[in-house]
Amino acid sequence: MSEISFPLIHSGKVRDLYDVGQGRILMIASDRLSAFDVVMAEPIANKGRVLTAMTAFFLDEVSDVVANSVISFDPEQIDTLLAVTLPAETHGRAMLVERAEMVSLECIVRGYLAGQAASEYERSGTIHDMAVVPGLRLADRLPTPMFTPSTKADEGHDVNISVAAARELVGADLVRELEQVSLAVYERAAARAKSAGFILADTKFEFGHVNGQLVLCDEVCTPDSSRLWPEAQVVPGETPPAYDKQPFRDWLEAIGWDKQPPPPPVPLEVATTTSERYVAAYELVTGRLLSDWYGAKP
């Protein structure tokens, strides 16, 4: 990506954050793909645009449930507000946001048994150390959606924790608010996904405070932060087909990678299939074309 003149605050696995002054941050979603906390060398075409476009869609869907930190996704408006001309390759990947004081929790909501939660449940009958009804199978719907927080690690892996442990970290009042808002956002987003024939099995939110108000930040209900399953193809007890990052993780498992750097080379066909899956997730869930989103190549 061409050089951006603003100071780089942080370069994460996927996003680069720039300090643009006046309490604002420019977030650029790259095409980088991380799995098992390792960034692959090969980019996934259009991934950054999908993450940004899907975030914009779901922020609009839940705008009456919780405020958010976004100022603009529109490249022309961002250029005007910043008095610059950003590189064309940032179009559709950039979001100008208000700087928030971030909450030091990942706010995960699980509606179905999958992933780490399924592994823990199989071992101990719990999810995030919290008791759950017995007899559930992989991909079963939970009796009610669960708020299952985790720590936010600067390095290494996040750690799944119980709601009680979260209260110890950030306080009972904040956790109560985070749980209520996270569940409400999940319910709204899950209903929207269901109307398009998809199950939003689980998803992760990040929150912060702007001028004392709790706001939804970062990505929302994307294929990177969620599990999206085509409802008609889900069979309890079996691994569901997925329109998210899971099939790529499954490929890494299948080739026997030890999950340590350096990452294995990603064949072109795997990268292409992954890109197509991300685009399909956006288009099928939202009913919109990615070619109509900012940054489409003529």
Average pLDDT, the chain: 96
90 belongs to a structural domain: no
237 belongs to a structural domain: yes
What angle is formed at CA 179 by the lines to CA 176 and CA 181, rounded to 5 degrees? Answer: 105
| Residues 203, 111: Cα–Cα separation, whole Å | 9
Q: What is the CATH number of the domain that holds 186?
A: 3.30.470.20
141 belongs to a structural domain: yes
193 belongs to a structural domain: yes
Q: Where are the alpha helices (DSSP H) in 111-218?
A: 115-124, 163-170, 172-195
Mean local confidence (pLDDT), 204-218: 98
Residue 267 predicted with pLDDT over 60:
yes
Residue 17 predicted with pLDDT over 70:
yes
What's the one-letter identity of residue 202?
A: D
156 belongs to a structural domain: yes
Q: What is the pLDDT of residues 79-120, one digit of tens each?
A: 999 999 999 999 999 999 999 999 999 999 999 999 999 999
225 belongs to a structural domain: yes
CA of 224: how far to CAs of 3, 32, 83, 173, 240, in Å?
25, 11, 31, 29, 16
Q: What is the pLDDT of residues 153-162, one digit of tens each?
A: 765 578 999 9
Instruction: Give the tokens for residue 242.
Output: 């997925």
CA of 67: how far to CAs of 178, 181, 213, 215, 262, in Å?
13, 10, 8, 5, 40
Q: Please, which pLDDT band fits residue 12 given cuts at 50, 70 and 90?
A: very high
Of 207, 295, 296, 297, give the one whose Cα is nearest residue 28: 295
Q: Please, which pLDDT band fits residue 22 given cuts at 50, 70 and 90?
A: very high
Burial class (CB in 10 A: 0-12, 13-18, 19+), 279: buried
89 belongs to a structural domain: no
Q: Domain tally for the chain?
A: 1
Q: What is the pLDDT of residues 111-166, one digit of tens each?
A: 999 999 999 999 999 999 999 999 999 999 999 999 999 998 765 578 999 999 99
The pLDDT of residue 156 is 58
Residue 1 predicted with pLDDT over 60:
no
Helices 47-61/268-286 angle, 10° precision = 20
Q: What is the pLDDT of residues 24-72, one digit of tens each?
A: 999 999 999 999 989 999 999 999 999 999 999 999 999 999 999 999 9
Q: Supply the range of the domain harboring residue 171.
A: 102-242
Phi and psi for 15 in degrees, rounded to 5?
A: -105, 145
- What predicted TM-score, i.e. pTM, was given to this entire model? 0.96
